Structure 1
């Protein structure tokens, strides 16, 4: 997938899935078809949701859910489904930065999204289970709870889409400042080695790990090529004046031959 930056195709599919999951979970929370009570001749037509209650037995009237339905499991299911919406919204924002912003696309961000997705999936599952346990005859489960189940499945698939990124995507430090040479393209010359966690040259002549020093090889104790270059230049420097014994030899020896 060439659109939306350099993120992998799986990451983009995962972002679409979690965005749809957020929309479905919000719609499920706001609709009033969590449980219904219908008869064949529509003598009773009651729809109960987490927030709203509709009675179409004689004339349809919508109001907030009566307190007679607010059992312990009802309240817990409502809280868990509401927390799920908040977690999905946070994940959508972080996932959007991961896909669209290069500097936010790191391995730590991917791991954080996976952890949040796994945590957020536990809340709707628990809410649906509690909701089913509190349903009494003649009510039965309706499609609003089914939308929440579908949203949970999309969130789980979105989590699976990030697993290939942890293994295959070439993460690197976007904040690092690389040396620039005007004579050639630096990004083509250097490549990122995921195993060494650093930039290496293609010809493998630069940024190689230093060999371990050995006691029998004093030359290997040198820190770098620059230290060797400084040592060689120091050997090439000639003294400003001859040593003391050369000065005595040149001035006293001729006098000794006269006597």
Structure 2
């Protein structure tokens, strides 16, 4: 299909489905086959369309304008909906026919418009068929025209779904370097673009490093706070241990010694963590400021 150019297979299939749907909705709209009644006893054979009818009760079929007896509210609503569907489906087919073969037309807005129109046409077609079928008298039954428009609604939904995958892409103009296209040449300054890009990357990198530096400082301070709390805890346990030893209470001495060992272990872990955060803080300051800040050595000395 040379007409379709470099379009994807999904969009080509969607365009074909759209054409078939348009043909079917035209057939369903124009044919006299929306509802039928045939009774042998009353010798009745009438076929009703949206704006014409065919009466074969006398033995010879004659097509005539729709009788006022069949111009019900359901028929009028369906006729209005089908006219809207015809307008929308023709517009959709035109846009679809532009989108598929034209590389420059494959942008996000075009895809969204086509999808919305196809789903809208399918919705109105389905509503029209349901409304008409619900208004059919008891002695009539729905005929092939209703089936055609129901199939049409499915085809319109299929045509819209064929573009869902392309709507999720970030770039919709697929072949900007096609030899059949000619684009105006604008003056460009590659050096300025490179400088601007480098400056942007540098600023972005600095923002990341500054966030890491702030997080490292918070981690260091929290570790120091835990060390201070553990020192206070050790001091209290040491006093209780000394009192237990003074009264020669071995059970309390053992319990206090166990608590002191646990606290010493936690303190060692927090001290090592604080030292690692202090070292990382110095490295980040060198990367950001080119040197360690003046008060950095004093501020980030781990608490003993």
Give your verdict on TM over 0.5: yes
- The corresponding residue for 1:34 is 34
Per-residue CA shift, 1:19-54, capped at 9, x if unaligned? 111110011011110000113579221000001100
The aligned residue for residue 83 of structure 1 is 84
Question: How much does 1:83 deviate?
Answer: 1.0
Q: Which residue is 1:8 aligned to?
A: 8
C-alpha distance after superposition, 1:65-118 (max 9, x if no partner): 111111111101111111111110000000001001111111110011111112
Question: CA 1:169–1:24 in structure 2 vs 1: closer, same or farther (change >3 Å)?
Answer: farther
Shift in Å, 1:216: 3.9
SS in 2 for 1:211: helix
Post-superposition offset of 1:211: 2.5
Greater fraction helix: 2
Q: 1:144 and 1:170 mapped to 2: Cα distance?
A: 41
- CA distance in 2 between partners of 1:119 and 1:160 (Å): 13
Q: Distance in 1 between matches of 2:136 and 2:173?
A: 52
CA distance in 2, matches of 1:2, 1:106: 21
Q: Tell me if 1:171 matches 2:161.
A: no
* Paired position in structure 1 for 2:150: 149
Q: Distance in 2 between matches of 1:55 and 1:170?
A: 57
| TM-score where L is the length of structure 1 | 0.67
Instruction: Show the counterpart of 2:202.
Output: 212
Q: Show structure 2 runs of 5+ residues with no match.
A: 177-181, 188-193, 207-287, 291-304
Question: For the residues of structure 2 that align with 1:141 and 1:149, how far apart are their CA atoms?
Answer: 12
* Count, aligned residues: 194
Aligned equivalents of 2:196 and 2:156: distance in 1? 42
> Is it true that 1:106 corresponds to 2:96 in the alignment?
no
1:128 aligns with 2:129: yes
Aligned-partner Cα distance in 1 for 2:45–2:196: 75
Give distance in 1, aligned partners of 2:48 and 2:40: 18
Deviates more, 1:139-148 or 1:113-122: 113-122
Q: Residues 35 and 141 of structure 1 are in contact (CA less than 8 Å); yes or no, is this contact kept in structure 2?
A: yes
2:122 and 2:152 in contact (8 A); partners too = no
CA distance in 2, matches of 1:169, 1:84: 31
Taking the aligned partners of 1:207 and 1:30, their CA distance within structure 2 comes to 62
User: 1:28·1:144 contact (CA, 8 Å) conserved in 2?
Assistant: yes
Q: Greater RCO between the two (CA within 8 Å, min separation 6)?
A: 1
Name the counterpart of 1:50: 50
1:97–1:105: 8 Å Cα contact kept in structure 2?
no
Closer, same or farther: CA 69–206 of 1 in aligned 2, 3 Å: farther
Alpha-carbon spacing, 1:71–1:103, altered in 2? closer, same or farther (3 Å): same
Q: 1:245 matched to which residue of 2?
A: none
Residues 144, 42 of structure 1: CA spacing in aligned structure 2 closer, same or farther, 3 A cutoff? farther
Over aligned residue pairs, what C-alpha RMSD do you find? Answer: 2.8
Structure 2 residue matching 1:45: 3-state secondary structure: strand
Gaps of 5+ in 1: 181-204, 218-259
CA contact (8 A) 1:8 1:169 kept: no
d(CA) in 1 for partners of 2:93, 2:62: 35
Tell me how far apart the structure 1 counterparts of residues 117 and 91 of structure 2 sit (CA, whole Å). 9
